[in-house]
Amino acid sequence: MLPELLQGVDTGGLLVIQDSASYSGRHLLQSFINAALNREEAVHVLGFEVSEEELKDGLRGSPVQRLHFHNAYTDPLGWTDHPAFTVHQFCLGELTRLVKQTSHSKPAILVIDSLSWILRHVSTPDVCRTLQQLRKGGAVRSIIGLLHADMHQRGTVGSVCHSATSVITVEPAMRGDEAVAKITKRSKSGKVIQDEEIFRIKDDLTVLVQSKSSKGAKKADSEEQETDPTANLTFNLRLSDTEREAKQKLALPFVFSKAKKTALLHSGPGSGRIHYEPDANDDYDQEDPDDDLDV
């Protein structure tokens, strides 16, 4: 599914790449940018987390003429007198104006690096609303955003991913240069497709899907038959039929059956009897104190 998504996100779509501190999703983001540039699409990058040099350094070999970098890295909070783009400008009007500055015939793809930066300063509902408005606005064809899932509460991550049409969660794989991508894609008809793939990004930023992840196979294994615990022992734990019968017949010592109760409560002939002569100080009650016992 990863190669399909790389070929193009649907018009009006929002793709969220979720990563964590253990594996950065920026490399995959660069692959998406590279793929879009190779398709001769205009790409606008809203860069909060990396500088233009660093981004373009990773995109060596790509046709970067159609790449427009909007610098939100140098001064995203407006601490200087002339900030290029601040996080508070993240709204439909400003972004539409930004994208329309460069005249292209086709609507461009907007790449946001990263959504986490914006979410730290703008409330989640506002961010989700702006993303929705952008999708429907027509100024951009589709949006790709990078989200650091371990920097936010689950609710925040959930809200943003819920408004996305596709979510790719990347994690490190066993081998150092590979990674696992868990993909969820929502089509317009409402159908949800999920997949898991192991991939590797080559030097030219193309993505090579190595194999489907083996996690699917592992789930089947856990439902295997339960092993017989009495097998392969040096002593015998099994019962033969006669032994099983004898076991069931056995009366356990402290389990009361009716016969046992009467034998205990009403002592038979020949057993001892107790004669009790009350003293002057004794509070002798004729009533049997055990009368209400239901043994």
Partner 1 sequence: MYTELNSILNTTPDSFTQGEFVLLSDRQSDASFLIHHFLSLYLRARCKVCFVGLVQSFNHYSAISQRLGVSLTQAKEKGQLVFLEGQKESLSVLIPQENDTGSQAMDFLRDPSVGLKSLYDVLLSLGVSAGAVLDFSHYCRAIVCSQLQGNVVMLVRCDGEGEEDEGDDEGSERLMKGLTHQCSLTLHVQGLPTGYCRDIHGQVEVCWRRRRGDGQYTQKKLFQYKVHDKGASFFAPGTSSAVL
x/- contact string, 24-53, with partner 1 (CB under 8 A)? x--x---------------------x-x-x
Quick check: 73 and 45 in contact, CB under 8 A? no
> At 41, is the secondary structure helix, strand, or coil?
coil
Q: Which of 8, 10, 56, 58 binds partner 1 (CB under 8 A)?
A: 58
Q: For partner 1, which is the closer residue by CB, 117 or 140?
A: 117
x/- contact string, 119-148, with partner 1 (CB under 8 A)? -xx--------------------------x
Quick check: 53 and 45 in contact, CB under 8 A? no
Count the neighbouring beta carbons within 10 Å of the beta carbon of residue 81: 6
Q: Report the run of H or E that residue 112 belongs to, with start and end.
A: strand 108-113
Quick check: 33 and 146 in contact, CB under 8 A? no
Long-range contacts of the stretch 275-280 (C-beta < 8 A, 24+): none
Q: Is residue 23 involved in binding partner 1 (CB under 8 A)? A: yes
Lookup: tokens for 52? 């233009």
Q: Which of 18, 116, 142, 169 binds partner 1 (CB under 8 A)?
A: 116
Shortest separation between residue 240's beta carbon and partner 1, angstroms: 49
DSSP-H helix ranges across 39-176? 52-58, 92-100, 115-119, 124-137, 154-162
Number of residues that bind partner 1 (CB under 8 A): 33
Instruction: Candidates 21-29, 231-239, 253-261, 283-291: pick the segment binding partner 1 (CB under 8 A).
Output: 21-29
Q: Which residues bind partner 1 (CB under 8 A)?
A: 20-24, 27, 49, 51, 53-54, 57-58, 73-80, 116, 120-121, 148, 150-151, 153-154, 172, 176-177, 201, 203
